Structure 1
Amino acid sequence: MALRKEHELHKRRSGLNKGVGILLAAFVVLVMALTMVKVTSATFKFPDAQGEQN
């Protein structure tokens, strides 16, 4: 049981925080999906290391 009753402003901010969290998670999933698609494509090649010259 809480010592004090939660203020109405905190309830409104809680909803906003959940929305921002969902948008942030969606952005992370989008970046991960685009990375996986690019890395697993047939034309993807790792860049040659420039430090390994003979």
Structure 2
Amino acid sequence: MIVVTHSEALLSSLRESGAAHEHELYKDLGETRIKGLGSLEGPLWTWPKR
């Protein structure tokens, strides 16, 4: 399950319950990035062929 939230209360509750992974997102020049990952560490992306 993926949960996306801005709620500190929900985030705190998920932490207390032992949620497995947590990633913080941020914007960099209009692009959404994952805090702590470098530009070469993210998932690979290629445009699909038509």
Q: TM-score, normalised by structure 1?
A: 0.24
Structure with the greater alpha carbon radius of gyration: 1
Bigger RCO (CA 8 Å, 6+ sep): 2
Q: TM-score, normalised by structure 2?
A: 0.25
